[in-house]
């Protein structure tokens, strides 16, 4: 390359113009191949669209094959004129096959803090749910579908996969120390399906409502972080405007629209992975085994009463 540059800059008379043209083409080709922007672990912003799409594709593949995980869950809801704030934190461990889940939670509302634990365990006749609240253990048996719905907002691999599958308008923000940060947007027409599938409004008790309550929702921005090989690191999303729209429709249904409009400042959810696809075992506390299963107790009483009739 340097030889041809000298030819072009040094004023050497070359009678064969074809050779000069070939030299110019070669220089252009070398610059195009050798000086093009490539993803690196620098502090700069990488703008290559193909690189961003590649990271997203690799992350999707990782999530499809590695559904087990451990993570730190954070949820923050701030609404009303006074900005009343509720914060939920949880340590989440989840294995999908066989199903076993551990969620250790701490919920803060203004000055009050409540700690609780929830465990799921696949058994022969369904899924046992163990819960402890204020020192009292209880147990109930659910079918697997309803058991997973009950912890839907905490299912980090599923919910990140939903965002990646439905997201649009991707933009790579940074590539720092091997961590790629990408922003995306959940289009308005997909908000209902993704919100319901991921139980994203579960913290506000607004999952399971009719699609009509989502009429007029806006697109939802979110952010993901992955390693350069596509391994999920974290995601965050704010459904504040979505929740506000849904609650407005609820008030309309109750005939209270306009009386006291709802303002939702924040409905923020984030999950930070500590493990993806490398969960070997989830322990369920021994004391949970002694929990009272009210459903089974009632069923036994009913069976006993029927037998004595």
pLDDT, tens digit, 9 for 90 and up, residues 149-169:
999 999 999 999 999 999 999
Q: Is 159 inside any structural domain? A: yes
Residue 18 inside a domain? The answer is no
The answer to whether residue 227 sits within a structural domain is yes
Range of the domain at 181: 49-296
Residue 11 lies in a domain: no
CA gap 219, 196 in Å, rounded: 15
If one counts every other C-beta atom within 10 angstroms of the C-beta of residue 84, the result is: 12
Q: Is residue 3 part of a domain?
A: no
**DSSP assignment, residue 141?**
E
Which range has the worst mean pLDDT, 26-35, 138-147, 204-213? Answer: 26-35
At 62-120, the pLDDT tens digits run: 999 988 999 999 999 999 877 789 999 999 999 999 999 999 999 999 889 999 999 99
The band of 303, judged by pLDDT with boundaries at 50, 70 and 90, is low
Domain for residue 306, yes or no?
Answer: no
Phi-psi region of 169 (alpha: psi -120 to 50; beta: other; left: phi over 0): left
Q: Which of 256, 262, 218 is nearest to 244 (CA)?
A: 262
- Please identify which residue in the block is written with the tokens 């340590």: 91
Q: Is residue 280 part of a domain?
A: yes
Pairing of strands 136-142, 220-227: unpaired
Among 224, 40, 161, 176, residue whose Cα is nearest residue 48: 40
Which of 158, 139, 142 has the alpha carbon at shortest distance from 150? 142
Whole-number pLDDT of residue 278: 85
Q: Which residues contact 138 (CB under 8 A, 6 or more apart)?
A: 130, 131, 132, 291, 292, 293, 294
Residue 170 class from Cβ within 10 Å (0-12 exposed, 13-18 middle, 19+ buried)? middle
CA dist., res. 81 & res. 79, Å (int): 7
At residue 134, φ and ψ (nearest 5 deg) are 55, 40
Q: How far apart are CA 11 and CA 229, in angstroms?
A: 49
pLDDT for residue 257 is more than 70: no
- Max distance between CA atoms of the chain, in angstroms, equals 116
Residues 52/168, Cβ–Cβ less than 8 Å: no
Confidence of residue 30 (pLDDT cuts 50, 70, 90): very low
304 domain-assigned: no
Q: What are the residue ranges of helices labelled H in 254-293?
A: none
Question: How many domains are there within the chain?
Answer: 1
**CA–CA separation, 7 vs 158, rounded Å?**
60
Report the CATH number that the domain containing residue 214 is assigned in CATH.
Answer: 2.50.20.20
């Amino acid at each position: 390359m340097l030889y041809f540059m000298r030819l072009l800059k040094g004023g050497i008379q070359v009678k064969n113009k074809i050779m000069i043209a070939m030299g110019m083409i070669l220089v252009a080709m070398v610059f195009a191949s050798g000086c093009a922007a490539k993803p690196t672990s620098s502090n700069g912003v990488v703008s290559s669209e193909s690189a961003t799409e590649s990271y997203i594709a690799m992350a999707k593949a990782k999530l499809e094959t590695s559904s087990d995980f451990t993570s730190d869950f954070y949820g923050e809801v701030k609404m009303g004129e006074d900005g009343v704030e509720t914060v939920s934190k949880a340590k989440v461990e989840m294995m999908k096959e066989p199903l076993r889940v551990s969620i250790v939670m701490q919920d803060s509302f203004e000055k009050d803090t409540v700690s609780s634990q929830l465990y799921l365990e696949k058994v022969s006749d369904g899924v046992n749910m163990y819960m402890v609240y204020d020192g009292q253990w209880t147990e109930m048996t659910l079918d697997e579908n309803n058991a997973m719905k009950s912890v839907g907002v905490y299912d980090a691999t599923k919910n990140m996969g939903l965002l990646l599958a439905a997201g649009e308008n991707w933009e790579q923000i940074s590539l720092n120390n091997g961590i790629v940060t990408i922003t995306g947007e959940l289009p308005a027409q997909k908000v209902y399906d993704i919100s319901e599938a991921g139980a994203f409004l579960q913290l506000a008790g607004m999952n399971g409502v009719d699609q009509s309550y989502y009429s007029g929702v806006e697109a939802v921005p979110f952010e993901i972080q992955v390693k350069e090989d596509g391994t999920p690191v974290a995601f965050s999303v704010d459904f504040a405007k979505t929740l506000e729209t849904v609650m407005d429709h609820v008030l309309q249904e109750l005939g209270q629209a306009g009386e006291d409009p709802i303002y939702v400042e924040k409905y923020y959810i984030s999950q930070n992975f500590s493990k993806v696809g490398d969960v070997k075992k989830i322990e369920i506390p021994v004391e949970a085994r002694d929990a009272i299963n009210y459903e089974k107790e009632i069923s036994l009483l009913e069976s006993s009463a029927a037998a004595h009739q």
